[in-house]
Structure 1
């Protein structure tokens, strides 16, 4: 009697995505676009206001406390930081942590310079695969966030993936969360939006899976 091999265990997609994100490691820091390395792997950019919790979000997704630098003085970080992802030292995707914007204490000249650098990056980075825009769920999208949406709109229409992440969702009641999510979707003309809380781990698995899917698109039929 021939014995059949046991069926392989089903893949836990969320666990796979979490394990992949846990491989995140510092790749490089670039004060100017010219200093960014030319890469041919998918790049996913995290953008948002200086107090939107961007570094905390990246650290939570990567399950590392100090991967992304969370400054006590928002707006001080003025470089694009790249983190490589991939097992066995291989790189199959990159996360880009862009400087926070909109913080009042930063000199106007620095604000203008970084607005130009970020706009150029978002418009011209060849391997940019997706953009995650982080907003404080209590504030929603501000005028600066909407200005950023206008910058990337042409690329979104050409296929760039885009997600609004409403951070600090634990600060809102369930009813307030639903309202914030509905408003964000209206502001992005039906774009994708999710609630996220690093403290309560709300949305962590869903976002991890989304990042995995962006970096590992299914082959065309």
Structure 2
């Protein structure tokens, strides 16, 4: 997809702060430091619009990025980061569950998982949540450049089995370094955004 215009719109914590222009939304969830911000920057062909950090727990709201006036990418706070207080984690949980339960403009959830590691308990819980709310899901296995190509299939199989993935859910192999998976993911997003 050719990116002509990208804007950071808002960091929202409550439904009344969500944009009201009716554009379809594609949300990203994943553990802290799994590469969500890098994925967004790769998708929109910008270096640092989504702030990346080596320090986990940087994103603390729902960050809305409007792409080509056609779709929003909505970045969730990372989960599973130990240094975030229990109270803060509960707030994140409520904020994310409210969004997943109530946001009719959500067309697809990207569940971002580091291909080098088996999905965590939190990843599995998130996947179960998405299935519970009948939200179309695409698992994105990031950091593909960090393992040999010969091991991709084995790692993807482990992710699918650990999550207990449904057949209708897709998985995309992704690398922010090489751009692997970018076009495939935009095709999936474009298809979901119009349904």
Task: State TM-score, norm by structure 2.
Answer: 0.91
Superposed CA offset, 1:77-122 (max 9, x none)? 2111111122xxxx22211111111111111111111012111211
- Is it true that 1:72 corresponds to 2:49 in the alignment? no
**Matching of residues 175-194 of structure 1 within 5 Å:** 175-186=150-161, 187=163, 188-190=165-167, 191-194=169-172
**Shift in Å at residue 171 of structure 1?**
1.3
Aligned residue in 1 for 2:173: 195
Is the 2:44–2:67 contact (alpha carbons within 8 Å) kept by the matching residues of 1? no
**Shift in Å at residue 46 of structure 1?**
0.8
Aligned with 2:149 (options 174, 179, 190): 174
Deviates more, 1:24-33 or 1:165-174: 24-33
- Is the radius of gyration larger for structure 1 or structure 2? 1
Deviates more, 1:111-120 or 1:67-76: 67-76
Deviates more, 1:35-44 or 1:107-116: 35-44
Deviates more, 1:181-190 or 1:66-75: 181-190
Q: Find the residue that maps to 2:133 and give its secondary structure.
A: helix
**Shift in Å at residue 177 of structure 1?**
0.9
**Shift in Å at residue 161 of structure 1?**
2.3
Aligned with 2:109 (options 111, 125, 131): 131
Is the 1:59–1:68 contact (alpha carbons within 8 Å) kept by the matching residues of 2? yes
Give the paired residue count: 192
CA distance in 2, matches of 1:122, 1:39: 18
Aligned residue in 2 for 1:211: 189
**Shift in Å at residue 72 of structure 1?**
3.4
**Shift in Å at residue 39 of structure 1?**
4.1
**Matching of residues 1-221 of structure 1 within 5 Å:** 17=1, 19-20=2-3, 22-86=4-68, 91-156=69-134, 160-186=135-161, 187=163, 188-190=165-167, 191-217=169-195
Is the 2:13–2:95 contact (alpha carbons within 8 Å) kept by the matching residues of 1? no
CA distance in 1, matches of 2:21, 2:104: 8
Q: Which residues of structure 1 form unaligned runs of 5+?
A: 1-16
Is the 2:130–2:136 contact (alpha carbons within 8 Å) kept by the matching residues of 1? no
CA distance in 1, matches of 2:99, 2:59: 16
| Structure 1 residue ranges, 4+ long, deviating more than 6 angstroms after superposition | none
Task: State TM-score, norm by structure 1.
Answer: 0.81
**Aligned CA-pair RMSD:** 1.6
**Shift in Å at residue 206 of structure 1?**
0.9
**Shift in Å at residue 175 of structure 1?**
3.0
